[in-house]
Structure 1
Amino acid sequence: MLHRDQTAAKPQPATGTTPPFPFTAIVGQDDMRLAMVLTAIDPSIGGVLVFGDRGTGKSTAVRGLAALLPPIRAVRSCPVNSAERHLCPDWAEIADPTVVEKPTPVVDLPLGVSEDRVTGALDVERAIAQGVKAFEPGLLARANRGYLYIDEVNLLEDHIVDLLLDVAQSGENVVERDGLSIRHAARFVLVGSGNPEEGDLRPQLLDRFGLSVEVRSPRDIDTRVEVVLRREAYEADPIGFAATWAEAEAELRAKILGARRALAKVKTPRKVLEDCAALCIHLGSDGLRGELTLLRAARALAASEAASTVTRDHIRRIAGLALGHRLRRDPLDEAGATDRVARAVTETLGAAKS
């Protein structure tokens, strides 16, 4: 089994290594790219689930996003990427408290990974003998304040799914063994990808993703040709290809940073809140997570467009991504989730203005 955490756990470009395929050079797949950008603007949206055919750029987009994301400010030697020294866990041996800029962590969680590898390992014998909290941080520690990426998420083992659900709910990783307890912050954006033909995702985990995207292979000749041409150009000269797209990458990075700064100032009229509620009621969405996610995504979309107020149009454009995976199965309705949401949007909010 391939353990990608050894080679691609932090897919950031480094000196002397091949740069990832630029995020802005991905052809088509507009919904997937939009969903990932929105979570970069507002991580509280709750992550992205990308389901679709093999070879549609799912993994490429995640690795491209990793290189695109703006850096974070964190304590140099903190194992959980804390922004300030006093936020570092007490078990961490902080050798250098200097605050520096680090690449936004993007950690790959491979299939078949052990629980200790995910949560971290507690050395009880050393703790008893030396009176210290001997703890080897895991993937959740490294992913704090960043992204946790799971390819083939629908094939993840149940006990790892349960663990992720607990951490996603609390924002904290707790490791307990023989009366000893270790805690640390574990807040990350969860990105999952997979092929629906290989199995369904557990409903509890599915609901934890803020946005979902269904990707398909392009059906027109021009798009498919452009995909091949760009891929060949990248493989022939990765550094030169990355340089060609450097300006577009910088523009998108600046757009994300600007939207982050503007997000808190975006106004949400009551009418927009009523639209969110009416749409979720029409679709039979359980709980209020649908409304909250829809609203946060619409705010992020508005901020990305330098709009001062969320409008019905923002809700209309983002509804499919925020609500498609929250629909109850209807054996009498053969339409797909995307079509059902689009139909509900038209019936509830009216047709989009041309």
Structure 2
Amino acid sequence: MALAYPFSAIVGQDDMKRALLIASVDQEVGGVLVFGDRGTGKSTAIRALAALMPKMDVVGGCPYNCAPDAERPGLCAQCRPGEDAGKEKVRSEPMPVVDLPLGATEDRVIGALDLERALRDGEKAFEPGLLARAHRGFLYIDEVNLLEDHIVDALLDVAASGENVVEREGLSIRHPARFVLVGSGNPEEGELRPQLLDRFGLSVDVATPTELTSRISIVRSRDEFDRDRAAFIKRFQRKEGKVRKQIQNAREHLGEVELPDSVVELAARLCIALGTDGLRGELTLIRAARALAALEGAKEVTSEHLQTVAPLVLRHRLRRDPLDEAGSGARITRAMEELFAA
């Protein structure tokens, strides 16, 4: 297995790193979309975060990574009460990070009939797909804007329900499929379908650094990593440990972070001012703000947390205004200045 570039060694791109950390603390935030120029560290950051994630307990023999303490709706058929199949002792596994390649077939993504067992034993059996492997982990799609429509449709169904339903070749299978959806791409190569865009909780635009010292630092670090990966990773071992501990503490104390009514009101006022559709904007705002507060070790969410995450949450949820030449980021900043100054 190739060694991943250390997350703490990434220079700049603070919004992207913050968004990924927030999504790693609370899966309910809804995933991260990273759009920007080629060669700006999008894939590097995502794979680096995966190496930081703590291990998780899974039911032994379960192909869907079911948690031993999960309630019935969050368990597959063989792990539900009364079923003995697959109930071996609990084991600890790395959090899955599954790549969904652009050329993947629908059968490979959602699962299909296990042809080998069908031909060998004459029995119908289900072969889990990428969505099953990604349960309780990350599903990463590079060049997400180039994904084929029928794969996008499958992802939308699962993202909405948290369950993968397969009805084909005489099979009728349901299994849990909850994961953090992470996508990256270059907007010059095509736009993302609005339905899928709305499923991402956070959106980040990354650009090529223009500051000379930053570019030199990035090039030197990458060159050192490529020449001796083990030595480079060892240099950042302590920093990586701190970030890993920060994520673990935030996940453990997320439920203890208080959410004042005043912050919820500010979130609602901001979404009203920007004219966002539905209530997903407010819900994601308060969840992301709570996750950020947990990362910082705060006991309650503040307006500062809300202001920090607002551009990440709302940038991709605004309707295009042909009469306003300012980008979505500028519109959010303007609305926050008017709201929080009042």
* Long gaps (5+) in structure 1: 1-16
For 2:154, which of 163, 178, 194 is the aligned residue? Answer: 163
Residue 306 of structure 1 aligns to a residue whose secondary structure is coil
Q: 1:124 Cα deviation (Å)?
A: 8.2
Give the equivalent residue in structure 2 for 1:39: 23
1:89 corresponds to 2:77 = yes
Q: Is the 8 A contact 1:122 1:175 kept in 2?
A: no
Q: Percent identity?
A: 60
Q: TM-score, normalised by structure 2?
A: 0.93
Residue 77 of structure 2 aligns to a residue whose secondary structure is coil
* Long gaps (5+) in structure 2: none
1:316 corresponds to 2:310 = no
1:296 corresponds to 2:326 = no
Q: Is the 8 A contact 1:18 1:239 kept in 2?
A: no
Q: 1:123 Cα deviation (Å)?
A: 4.4
Residue 173 of structure 1 aligns to a residue whose secondary structure is strand
1:60 corresponds to 2:44 = yes
Letter in 2 for 1:89: A
Letter in 1 for 2:12: G
Residue 145 of structure 1 aligns to a residue whose secondary structure is coil
Q: Is the 8 A contact 1:260 1:303 kept in 2?
A: yes
Count residues with an aligned counterpart. Answer: 335
1:4-153 equivalences under 5 Å are 17-84=1-68, 87-90=75-78, 97-123=88-114, 133-153=124-144
Give the equivalent residue in structure 2 for 1:253: 244
Q: TM-score, normalised by structure 1?
A: 0.90
CA RMSD of aligned residues (A): 2.2
1:173-192 equivalences under 5 Å are 173-192=164-183
Instruction: Tell me which moved more, 100-109 or 129-138.
Output: 129-138
Residue 18 of structure 1 aligns to a residue whose secondary structure is coil
In 2, Cα distance between the equivalents of 1:128 and 1:67?
39
* CA offset digits 1:328-353 (Å, max 9, x no partner): 000011111111111111111229xx
1:237 corresponds to 2:255 = no
1:329-348 equivalences under 5 Å are 329-348=320-339
1:260-299 equivalences under 5 Å are 260-299=251-290
Q: Is the 8 A contact 2:61 2:88 kept in 1?
A: yes
Residue 324 of structure 2 aligns to a residue whose secondary structure is coil
Q: 1:162 Cα deviation (Å)?
A: 0.6
Instruction: Tell me which moved more, 130-139 or 37-46.
Output: 130-139
* CA offset digits 1:8-43 (Å, max 9, x no partner): xxxxxxxxx431101111110000000000011111
Q: 1:277 Cα deviation (Å)?
A: 0.3
Residue 192 of structure 2 aligns to a residue whose secondary structure is coil
Instruction: Tell me which moved more, 120-129 or 208-217.
Output: 120-129
